Structures are given as C-alpha cells and as structure tokens.
Structure 1
Amino acid sequence: MTLYRANPKDGVAWITGGSSGLGRALAKDLARQGYAVAVTALPSDPADTLLVETAQMTGHVKSFPCDVTDEEGMARTVAAIEEDMGPIVLAVFNAGNYIATPGEHLVVRDFHRSFAVNYFGIVNGLVPVVEYMRARGRGHVVVVGSVTAYSGWPTTAAYGGTKAAINILAESLKYDFDKMNIRIQVINPGFVDTPLTEKNMLPMPGLMPVHRASRRMARGISKGGFEVTFPYHISWPLKLLGLLPRPICRIVIGLTTSWWGRPLNFDRKMPSETGRSPDQAA
C-alpha cells in the first residue's frame, strides 16, 4: 500500500505558528495550491492580515488562535477545526521559539520554555489530531526541526536540544504511523530570514529568504521523503559534520563560528532565585 500523502481535495491543512515567518509564508503557498488552511498562533499575534492577503487565492485561510503550550486548548482547537472546516489531512507543527543559552548565563526557565513551545507544543497538537487521522485511516503530519539538531552549536543548548528531540520523536513514531497510513515527515531547514533568526547570536551561512524556504517546504510536503532538509549546500555538510568524531566536530564548529575567540561576558544581570531571566522578571 502506498503511504498516504495529503491532497487539498481531501481536507484541511493545519499550521501552528502560522501568523508570521515561515508558517505564514507556508499558509500562503498551501492556499495557492487550493488547501483550506487553518492557522493557529497566539491570540496576541492575530492572523487578520494573512486572511486578507489570501482572500483571492484558490484556497482560503481561517484563524484558530491558541497557545501551543495549552494542552487542553490545543485539543479544543483540533476539534473546532474538524467541526468548522472539515477533516484535517495535513498537520504542520511549525510553532517554535529561540532562546539563546550561552554557557555563562544559563537560566532554568529558558530550557523549560524552549521545550514547552518547541517540543510539547508539537505533542499537545499531535496527540488529538492523530486520533482523528487514525479513525479515518489516513493522515499526513509534518514536524519542523532544524539543522542544529545534527550537532551541538554554541548558545543552542536549549533550542538545538528541542530540535534533536523532534527528530527522534518523528523517527520513533514513523514505525507505527506507517501501519496506520499516517505519513510523518521532519523538515530540517537551515537558516531562514524570519523574526526568530534575528535573535541568533551566531553567524548564519546560507541565510534563505522566507519565501524561498516556504517553497522548498511546500515541495517537500508534496513530494519529499521522511526528512526534508535545505539548502543542500548548508544542510548536507552539517549532516556530515555531525558524523565526525566529536572532538573534530567541536573544533570545526568553533572555528566556523569564531567562538574560540569569543570572550565570556559576565556583565548581564544574573537571574533571580525564581528562575526567571532578567527580561522576564516581575
């Protein structure tokens, strides 16, 4: 049996983190393909302008605001989309955040928040939507990782850890999802020019415009295999670098990022005993 791949004629595409950046661009691309697209983002980050921009496209977009860290809220969102728009045949878990974690300024809350959004933000939506897909006997799930999952990079102890976990999540679930005719893909993009990467403290070789990254992502969803990664001239060398002995890998990354010559910076105010970072302290 050929494993199911989503088609706009079959139902709805649901995108989390869809009001800005890569998710927003992908929502437009899928609407152009004819999908009815459900977009989920924080209530404070409305998708109103996206709805206007896609109004004349073949498909259409509708907003279902929710915080991906809200387990019960995500279950209600899935149910609302199914009732209002129809069956979710494609679920793209794109919502994420990046919190830099330099070794001299570790904050427990930064790790909790990174995993709450990047990892459990997927799980909170994945569990309810897969129940619908399993009952129908088909579905297509996409989780968005990163090339930082291939090896450890400076300041990415939290972010890269979540993306490595996402890759293992997808690999582990694929065994049983295949039996249920639910296709799962992991997309590991390189650096994409979005508000998220503006926070990055590292050099970003091969930085892609968001519209190009979205097109590659859409093509990967419609034609790609289990892992979709781009751009090749960045992702494949990084993938191969991750296969090298760890001491060599660290040397190469340290030289590439000029991190060996970076002085430690202890000027930042230390977090309070509550575990909040200074910019989040009450």
Structure 2
Amino acid sequence: MQLNTPMTDWQGRRVWLVGASTGIGLACAQALRSAGAQVVVSARNPQGVLDWAEKDSGVQWRALDVSDASQVQAMTRDLLAEGPLDMVVYAAGYYRAQRATAMDMDDLLQHDKVNYQGALQVIHAVLPGMLARGSGHISLLSSVAGWRGLPNGLAYGPTKAALTHLAETLYIDLQDQGIGVSVVNPGFVATPLTAQNEFTMPALISPEEAARQMLKGWAAGQFDIHFPKRFTLWLKLLRLLPYRLYFPLVRKFTGL
C-alpha cells in the first residue's frame, strides 16, 4: 500500500544522508548516486567517503557532529543555500550491548544523543524548508531491535523504538503538507556496529542488499520499509504475542 509518493526517478534529486560514512548509510548513498541522485554525505569521520567524493562531482562530503545543534543548523543553512533538499536520510547510529544488571549511564545517554536526539536536531533544521516548499521526504533508519524489548538491548533498543514512534507521528503531521516520511527497520546487516555481536545473526544480509531494499521501498511508496522479510515478518508476529508468552519465548531462544 502506497502511503508516500513513490520515488522511482532519482535523476537530479538532491539527497542528504546523515551518518553515512560506513555500513547501510554509505551503501545507500552509493546506490542513490548510481541511480542518478546528487548526494551529500555527512558524519563525524569521512572513512572511505573522501576518495569517492574526490572522483565524483555528484558526491559531497560534509563533516558533521549531530550532537552539536549549532553545527547542524549551520550545515543545513549551507546546504539549502546551494539548493533544496529532496530527501534527508538519518542513518547515524551508535550501538553497544548493555543489560540492566550492568548499567552504564554515560553509554545510555550517548545512545540517546546519537540515535534519537541527533535525528531531532536534523529534522528541526530541515523541516522548515520542506514545509515552505510543500515537498520533500524524511527517512529515519531505525531497527527491528526497537520493536520489542530484547536482551542486550537496554541502551540501543529504546532509542530505535523512539525513532519509529517519531516517524509515525511525523507522518501523521506532515501527510497533508506534501512531505513524505518513512522509517527503515533492517534486521541483521553486516556493518561495523553488528560486528560487535558475539552470536550468530539470523538472515544476515550485506549493506548493499539493505540499500537495494531501501530504494525498493521508496519506489513502492512505503512508510514501513523492513527487511529481509524472511526474518522481519516473524518478528512482526512476535509483536502480537501477549507478554506471558513473549517473555518466556525470548528467554528460550536467546538463553538470556
């Protein structure tokens, strides 16, 4: 079902990807560029983006710390001075496994600062321009880890749940303003973040496959873009279970 205007022609579209120096964000930036979009990639560190940007005039690198509100506002002003943004993808992410039996408050707040507050800073900066134009699209990279509580997800999961809730509310508020909103919920993707996991990750996919699924979802006008379906559909079913069944099931399959 189409909840957004389908985006199939990327020629000339200008996309700002925040937190896209590695992993899913970078793969998505590369896929969008291959499809003809003009891409601006931002993150704290350039990783492998600088070499790419030097070879392709359709790629820009702009260093950005999403936790710095004044920096986000200044960056947005600079980008908008060069032309409108057709899409903003928030892909910045921070992950460390944590359980309630060993709480680390500084780490908990760092997750919130990057994963959620950073998204708020970016949205706050770009939304006035989109509202004035009556067009644009905001896409938030969340995770299936935010669908229900999971072991080791004390710090990460709640921030992703917040992103999904934020996207839902943004959609309701912006639907009649000509602005599209989507939320991307990947399963396990082989990235520097998931490389920390010390368990076998079911249905693990590459960042390139994740990027293909994202573009496919945008082309179909989807709001909830989740993948791979062979994994995420089962998780959606788990969301429907009552707690008296869900909690024992999680303990059984995770051993935690």
Q: Is TM more than 0.5 here? A: yes
For residue 247 of structure 1, report the CA deviation from its aligned partner: 2.5
1:228 aligns with 2:225: yes
CA distance in 2, matches of 1:234, 1:45: 30
Select the residue among 97, 101, 107 that pairs with 2:104: 107
Residue 73 (structure 2) aligns with:
75
1:32 is displaced (CA, Å) by: 0.7
CA distance in 2, matches of 1:164, 1:100: 16
Which of these two proteins has the greater Rg computed from alpha carbons? 1
Q: How many residues align?
A: 253
Going from structure 1 to structure 2, the CA distance change for 1:10 and 1:36 (only over 3 Å counts) comes to closer
User: How far apart are the structure 1 equivalents of 2:30 and 2:74?
Assistant: 24
Conserved? CA contact 1:43–1:67, under 8 Å? no
Task: Give the equivalent residue in structure 2 for 1:178.
Answer: 175
- Equivalent residues of 1:19, 1:50 under 8 A apart: no
SS of the residue corresponding to residue 100 of structure 2 reads: coil
Asked which structure has the greater RCO (Cα within 8 Å, sep 6+), the reply is 2
Superposition RMSD on alpha carbons, in Å?
1.8
Greater share of helix: 2
Q: For 1:52-94, what per-residue CA distance to the aligned partner results, in whole angstroms no more than 9, with x for missing partners?
A: 5x62xxx82101110111111111111111223x210100001
Structure 1 vs Structure 2: percent identity of aligned residues?
32
Structure 2: gaps of 5 or more residues: none
- Tell me the residue number matched to 1:33: 35
- How many Å separate the matches in 1 of 2:167 and 2:78? 25
Alignment match, 1:162 = 159
Separation (CA, whole Å) in 2 of partners of 1:121 and 1:69: 6
How does 1:1-282 map onto structure 2 within 5 Å?
Answer: 4-5=5-6, 7-9=9-11, 11-43=13-45, 45=47, 47-52=49-54, 55=56, 60-84=58-82, 86-259=83-256
Structure 1, gaps ≥5 residues long: 260-282
Shift of residue 243, structure 1, vs aligned partner: 1.2
Write the deviation string for residues 221-260 of structure 1: whole angstroms up to 9, x where unpaired: 222411010011111111110110113112222222222x
Partners of 1:194 and 1:67 in 2: how far apart?
20
CA–CA distance in structure 2, aligned partners of residues 124 and 74 of structure 1: 7
| AA matched with 1:218 | L
| 1:14-34 Cα distance to aligned partner (Å, 9 max, x none) | 101111111111111000111
Distance 1:43 1:32 in 2: 23
Structure 2 counterpart SS, 1:62: strand
Counterpart-to-counterpart distance in 1, 2:178 and 2:66: 25
In structure 2, what is the Cα distance between the partners aligned to 1:232 and 1:11?
Answer: 28
* Closer, same or farther: CA 44–38 of 1 in aligned 2, 3 Å: closer
| C-alpha separation in 1, matches of 2:198 and 2:164 | 23
Residue type of the alignment partner of 1:70:
D
User: How far did 1:46 drift?
Assistant: 6.3
